[in-house]
Amino acid sequence: MTDAPVRTLLLWCPDWPVLAAEVVDGVPATGPVAVLHANRVVACSERARVEGVRRGLRKREAQGRCPQLTVVEYDPGRDARAFEPVVAAVEELVAGVEVVRPGACAVAARGPSRYLGGEEAAAEQIIEHVAQTCAVEAQVGIADGVFAAGLAARTGRVVPPGGTPAFLAGLPVEALGRPALADLLRRLGVRTLGDFAALPAGDVLARFGFDGALTHRLAAGRDHRPLAVRRPPADLTVTAEYDEPVDRVDAAAFAGRALAEQLHDRLAGHGLACTRLGIEAVTAHGQELHRVWRHDGLLTAAAIADRVRWQLDGWLTGSNGRGGAGRARPTAGIIRLRLIPDGVIAQAGLQPGLWGETGEERERAHRALSRVQGILGPEAVFTAVLGGGRSPADQVRLVPWGDERLPARPGGPPRPGESARPGEPPWPGRLPPPAPAVVLPTPLAAVVHDADGEPVVVSARLRLSAPPARLTLDAARPMEITGWAGPWPVDERWWAPAEAHRRARFQVGLANGTALLLVVEAGRWLVEAIYD
Amino acid sequence: MAGHMVVGSAALAGLVRPASAPDPAGGHRVLPVAPELTGLLPSRGLRRGSTIAVAAGQPRHNGGASLVLALLAEASRAGSWCAVVGVPTFGAGAAAELGIALDRLALVPNPGPEWATVIAALIDGVDVVVTAVPAAVSASVANRLAARARQRGSVLVPYGRWEGADVTLQVVRGAWEGLGPGRGRLRRREVTVSARGRGAAARPKEIKVWLPDDELTRVIPRAVASAVGGPTAGRSRPVAPPGRTVAGVSRRGALTLVGPA
């Protein structure tokens, strides 16, 4: 390590939290905007600053100074996400970028200044490129060390080599970014970084501790920390372009297979496996079809080729399985096929079983089920996953075969004598076992009469008009009710009017030995499930 | 997993074979069924290659679906792969309660006109194939599928009308317990299952089982709800005591023998 601090170029985007809110949430940064954390302003837009909003103000105070202020909650994740394209844009021009914090990134100045023809020219080009690709305004400062470069970027200065201590000496102690220390130094009569740097290092360490000693070195322009350069993520996407548009599904699947093998080699080279795979096809007329496939195991080349075929099959036949308009059929052949691995994990995480469940039988079953998927389409073979929920239909989620088995709602099936397991919602109001063996996908309308032949009504206070005596199912003969229990009320999602349900459930036993799960909603009786 | 580890080496003896030996695909292995149902089946289990039909009861929805699930449960628990075709109303909750491993159970709710092809494909790779029988299945198609199952060593369980099965099970009667006028809740059902068939199964048999059994529900407190406005006589009449259970069965549950085999 050399004694001299690294000459650093730092790109700084002023008021980044505000800009991030504009990029991600669409809050216009030209208006008065303040980003608040714990009721204090952490950043504000230029308009808000003109109106007198400052960092550290309380929300009420800030709104008092600027009544039309738009207030945004501080979200470090949003800031970091929004900064990613900016970093990518900088990486297009220079190598070895360190993200200092969302809103600021640093590079070693030596390379770009030689390549782009001088430090000023490099700074200009980087600002220009960022503005063009991300529509983000930025400033660049160049100095010796990241700390000094950060301060130089505030004023957009290029500090000449060796001039950093002199540049720092003129700045007030608040520039250290440690308010408590700055306050103390001021009361001790130390007003600028130059004054602070002039103090003997040993005394500073004794009086202010390690952090004080570190800031003392920074103030003196001795910032030896090397850049922690970010490693750009490996590009695992594989793409194939076809000069001759591919217009047959089997030909595309064949091409997909070759591509899949390429992807496998690339993933294996990095020791990785992917659990999700995006397949993107582009036609000669620029139509795009993108779909993400999930898989709980490793997608083999054959499995990828299958999925390419299914996806294109569905596209070419114009139907998307679920009726409706579907998407338009492509008007030309496919010229580009791209496989984008997603959910990449280390290969070591996938360990096939030694024997038992994951042996030969599993392989055989997988082959057979994949074959059925080939015949009927991917969305025809399912496995069921049990989750939480109050009705028997809510508790089950059908997952297409091969996808990740995740329940639709958190929580497991009810167990006798056991309340909710820790970390799982209790789902009060769900039915205890036994569960019905027949769950109707669409409930069946029923009519329930009392002994006098009047329809049975449940009031808002769950009072029955009369005990139910007969049940009629779609124009069949009425059946006598021998036993019944209920009403068990369920009031779900009342906070979301579109999805709200207010129901009362009944278990009903009929004279012929059948037992049904009935539900009353808005005065209508429905058969939800049959205890077959 | 731990469940069948503790069964011990005796149960494993039938499953372990030398790696060099060929897979007895069409072989003589018998998939286990719950002990209560062994009396109904000539080989005391689901013999690989056989066709075991479950006929829809009279009236419908009287325990047929639960019987199918109960047939699968033990095999699925022991590690077999199962598939259920053509049953869009499949109750996964009930299946899990009976002990079926849902991650080894594939569902094909709507096979459509490709039904026979789908069944044939599944017979190749899945140990037990349950299928609702579509309305129009010719005898030749049925025979071909049964022959394929015999050759590949998987068990075909048609649910509905099916000629020429090795054994045909049918629910004769089902009676729920636990539900009174305006109180209680469904707890268990006494089901009478009859079996008839060919060869060794020619003599008709009939047994009574609890399906599902009280076992699942015993721990839940009795007083669940009493309806407002309904008749409230006899507030806590106890549900009939659990039936005679076969030794060693009540531990695992969901299904108990109540009558002579």
Task: Tell me, yes or no, whether B33 lies in a domain.
Answer: yes
Crossing angle for the helix pair B115-125 and B139-152, to the nearest 10 degrees: 10
* Lowest mean per-residue pLDDT among A193-207, A372-386, A416-430, B82-96: A416-430
Confidence at residue A368, expressed as pLDDT on a 0 to 100 scale = 86
- B89/A512 touch (CB, cutoff 8 Å), yes or no: no
- Average pLDDT score over chain A: 84
- Rounded CA-CA distance A394/A385 in Å is 11
Q: How far is B91 from chain A (nearest CA, A)?
A: 4
B239 falls in which pLDDT band (50, 70, 90)? Answer: very low
User: Is residue A526 pLDDT above 50, yes or no?
Assistant: yes
Confidence at residue B10, expressed as pLDDT on a 0 to 100 scale = 53
User: Is residue A107 pLDDT above 80, yes or no?
Assistant: yes
Confidence at residue B235, expressed as pLDDT on a 0 to 100 scale = 33
Q: Is any Cβ of chain A less than 8 angstroms from the Cβ of B120? A: no
Task: Compute how many other C-beta atoms are within 10 angstroms of the C-beta atom of residue B153.
Answer: 19
Percent residues over pLDDT 90 in chain A? 27
User: Is residue A518 pLDDT above 90, yes or no?
Assistant: yes
Average the pLDDT over B93-119 and give the result: 90
Query: Closest by alpha carbon to B53, among B146, B144, B116, B122?
Result: B146
Crossing angle for the helix pair A76-93 and A16-25, to the nearest 10 degrees: 100
- Rounded CA-CA distance B31/B253 in Å is 19
Task: Tell me, yes or no, whether B216 lies in a domain.
Answer: no
User: Is residue B130 pLDDT above 90, yes or no?
Assistant: yes
User: Is residue A320 pLDDT above 50, yes or no?
Assistant: no
Q: Identify the structural domains of chain A with CATH numbers, from first to last.
A: 7-155 (3.40.1170.60), 164-219 (1.10.150), 238-322+329-351 (3.30.1490.100), 366-415 (no CATH), 438-530 (no CATH)
Buried b (16+ CB within 10 A) or exposed e, A72-105: bebbeebbeebbeebbebbeebbebbbbbebbbb
- Where is pLDDT greater, at B52 or A25? B52
CB A198 within 8 A of CB A219: no
The per-residue DSSP string of A291-318 comes to EEEE-SSPPPHHHHHHHHHHHHHHHHT-
Task: Tell me, yes or no, whether B94 lies in a domain.
Answer: yes
From the centroid of its chain, how far is CA A299? 23
Q: Pick A485's closest partner by Cβ from B103, B111, B225.
A: B225
Crossing angle for the helix pair A76-93 and A119-134, to the nearest 10 degrees: 130
User: Is residue B84 pLDDT above 90, yes or no?
Assistant: yes
Number of H helices, E strands in chain A: 14, 19
The per-residue DSSP string of A221-271 comes to T---PPP-PPPPPP---EEEEEEEEE--HHHHHHHHHHHHHHHHHHHHHTT
Looking at beta carbons, which residues of chain B come within 8 Å of A435?
91, 93-94, 96-97
Q: B21 φ, ψ to 5°?
A: -70, 145
B99 falls in which pLDDT band (50, 70, 90)? Answer: confident
Q: pLDDT digits over A142-154, tens only?
A: 999 889 999 999 9
- Rounded CA-CA distance B106/B127 in Å is 11
Confidence at residue A516, expressed as pLDDT on a 0 to 100 scale = 92
Percent residues over pLDDT 70 in chain A? 91
Q: A76 φ, ψ to 5°?
A: -60, -35
Confidence at residue A506, expressed as pLDDT on a 0 to 100 scale = 93
- CATH number for the domain spanning B118: value is 3.40.50.300
Task: Tell me, yes or no, whether B199 lies in a domain.
Answer: no
CA distances (Å), origin B245, targets A367, B27, B177, B250, B261: 41, 33, 17, 6, 12
Task: Tell me, yes or no, whether B29 lies in a domain.
Answer: yes
Query: Cα–Cα–Cα angle for A159, A160, A161, nearest 5°?
Result: 115
Buried b (16+ CB within 10 A) or exposed e, A247-261: eebeebbebbbebbb
Confidence at residue A188, expressed as pLDDT on a 0 to 100 scale = 92
Tokens of A400: 């297409």
Q: pLDDT digits over A330-365, tens only?
A: 777 888 888 888 777 776 554 555 544 456 777 788
pTM: 0.62
B261 falls in which pLDDT band (50, 70, 90)? Answer: very low
Query: Closest by alpha carbon to A337, among A265, A434, A256, A257?
Result: A256
Mutation choice for A interface testing from B29, B126, B171, B176 by most A CBs within 10 A: B176
* Lowest mean per-residue pLDDT among A350-359, A446-455, B51-60: A350-359
Q: pLDDT digits over A227-241, tens only?
A: 777 776 677 888 888
- Torsional class of B64: left (φ above 0), alpha (ψ -120 to 50), beta (otherwise): alpha
Confidence at residue B251, expressed as pLDDT on a 0 to 100 scale = 40
A132 falls in which pLDDT band (50, 70, 90)? Answer: very high
Looking at beta carbons, which residues of chain A come within 8 Å of B129?
none
Confidence at residue A421, expressed as pLDDT on a 0 to 100 scale = 63
Q: Is any Cβ of chain A less than 8 angstroms from the Cβ of B240? A: no
Task: Compute how many other C-beta atoms are within 10 angstroms of the C-beta atom of residue A460.
Answer: 6
Q: Pick A487's closest partner by Cβ from B96, B104, B227.
A: B227
A121 falls in which pLDDT band (50, 70, 90)? Answer: very high
Query: Closest by alpha carbon to A235, among A201, A261, A269, A210?
Result: A269
- Rounded CA-CA distance B82/B71 in Å is 11
From the centroid of its chain, how far is CA B257? 14
Q: Pick A464's closest partner by Cβ from B103, B106, B227.
A: B227
Task: Tell me, yes or no, whether B77 lies in a domain.
Answer: yes
When divided into structural domains, chain B yields a total of 1
Confidence at residue A517, expressed as pLDDT on a 0 to 100 scale = 93
User: Is residue A138 pLDDT above 50, yes or no?
Assistant: yes
- Average pLDDT score over chain B: 76
Confidence at residue A354, expressed as pLDDT on a 0 to 100 scale = 52
Task: Compute how many other C-beta atoms are within 10 angstroms of the C-beta atom of residue B93.
Answer: 26
Confidence at residue A317, expressed as pLDDT on a 0 to 100 scale = 61
Mutation choice for A interface testing from B186, B190, B208, B251 by most A CBs within 10 A: B186
Q: pLDDT digits over A395-438, tens only?
A: 888 888 877 777 888 876 665 555 556 677 888 888 888 889 99
User: Is residue B230 pLDDT above 50, yes or no?
Assistant: no
Crossing angle for the helix pair A360-376 and A301-316, to the nearest 10 degrees: 20
CB B47 within 8 A of CB B155: yes
Confidence at residue B226, expressed as pLDDT on a 0 to 100 scale = 35
Collapse the DSSP code of A531 into the 3-class scheme (helix H, G, I; strand E, B; otherwise coil) and give the result: coil
Looking at beta carbons, which residues of chain A come within 8 Å of B111?
376, 380
Chains A, B: CB contacts within 8 A come to 221
Number of H helices, E strands in chain B: 6, 11
Tokens of A395: 């508790």
User: Is residue B25 pLDDT above 80, yes or no?
Assistant: no
Q: Scanning the structure block, which residue is given the tokens 């009786």?
A: A525
Collapse the DSSP code of B201 into the 3-class scheme (helix H, G, I; strand E, B; otherwise coil) and give the result: helix
Query: Closest by alpha carbon to B187, among A435, A413, A71?
Result: A435
Confidence at residue A426, expressed as pLDDT on a 0 to 100 scale = 80
- Report CA Rg, chain A: 33
- Rounded CA-CA distance A246/A236 in Å is 24
CB B216 within 8 A of CB A433: yes
Task: Tell me, yes or no, whether B133 lies in a domain.
Answer: yes
DSSP letter at A383 equals E
Q: Pick A376's closest partner by Cβ from B65, B95, B114.
A: B114
B228 falls in which pLDDT band (50, 70, 90)? Answer: very low
Confidence at residue A352, expressed as pLDDT on a 0 to 100 scale = 54
User: What is the helix (H) or strand (E) element at residue B146, kind and residue range?
Assistant: helix B139-152
User: Is residue B57 pLDDT above 60, yes or no?
Assistant: yes
Q: How far is B150 from chain A (nearest CA, A)?
A: 17
- A381/B107 touch (CB, cutoff 8 Å), yes or no: yes
Average the pLDDT over A308-336 and give the result: 64
Question: How many residues are recorded in chain A?
Answer: 532
Strand order in the sheet with A7-12: A97-101, A104-108, A7-12, A139-144
- Domain of residue B145 covers 25-168
Task: Tell me, yes or no, whether B194 lies in a domain.
Answer: no
Beta strand pairing status for B52-55 and B167-180?
parallel
Question: What is the predicted ipTM?
Answer: 0.75
Average the pLDDT over B4-23 and give the result: 52
- A513/B118 touch (CB, cutoff 8 Å), yes or no: no
- B125/A365 touch (CB, cutoff 8 Å), yes or no: yes
CB B94 within 8 A of CB A434: yes
